[in-house]
Amino acid sequence: MSESSKPHPLDRVNEAAATAPDAHRELLRLLAVVDAFRGEQGCAWYEEQTHHSLVPYLQEESAELIDAIESGTASDIREELGDVLFQVLFHADIAADFDLEDVARDQADKLLRRNPHVFGPTPTRDIDEIIRLWHEAKAVEKANRTSVLDGVAFGMPALALAQKVLGKAAAVPVTVTPATLESADTDAIGDALLALAAAVHEAGVDAEAALRDATRRLAERVRAAEKIREATTNSELDEN
């Protein structure tokens, strides 16, 4: 087929939209747009990307969505949701071992499994019961985990990561002595964090990297404590 006789990428997108059912017309049009980035008439830059190379874009788009939710308009949120959705479709499209159907299937299965209060044999709208059932479902999934830190995404922003690991560490227990605060209200804590960030900036230190390193050291303490606890438990079992 000559170059001139090949369907133009835009024609392919328009055809997909024209033949799609009304309920999902725009979603299917977006999928056709993503698909058109690949192939002879597609985008060379797009085809060179990997999951790793796209990480900065995913981080940026996620941050912009959060910003829109916190201080933007409904239109801003709508736009940023679209950018995040494109990142999901982009990753699914370039993957070698799975596709969007696999992603959707796994997520649907997970939601069905983790929400027995909606999809189980005895639905309930009681909040306490919902939380109990959710924890039970999560416990089944975590049965093969060997550490409270398994499943923690260490690539998340440093402050969020620190709070996550601190919460997990408390169950071991491994503790960190908290700083003394003049007040525990949100404004005072925000001001204290901002003042600390200013001091770190003045010192020429990367605050994100410093906190991430400290959190990883805490994680090492947690894993070491877990090993000691496991060894002690095994020793007691042997004695009995």
Task: Output the six-digit token pair for 6.
Answer: 């090949």
**Where do you find CATH 1.10.287.1080 in the chain?**
3-96
pLDDT of residue 1: 46
Give the Cα separation of 127 and 230 in Å (integer): 35
> Which residues of the chain have a pLDDT value below 70?
1-21, 23, 236-238, 240
Q: Which amino acid is at 4?
A: S
Cite the DSSP H helix spans in 72-126: 74-94, 100-114, 116-119
Burial of 49 (0-12, 13-18, 19+ CB in 10 A): middle
Give the Cα separation of 34 and 43 in Å (integer): 10
Q: Which fold has domain 3-96?
A: Helix Hairpins (1.10.287)
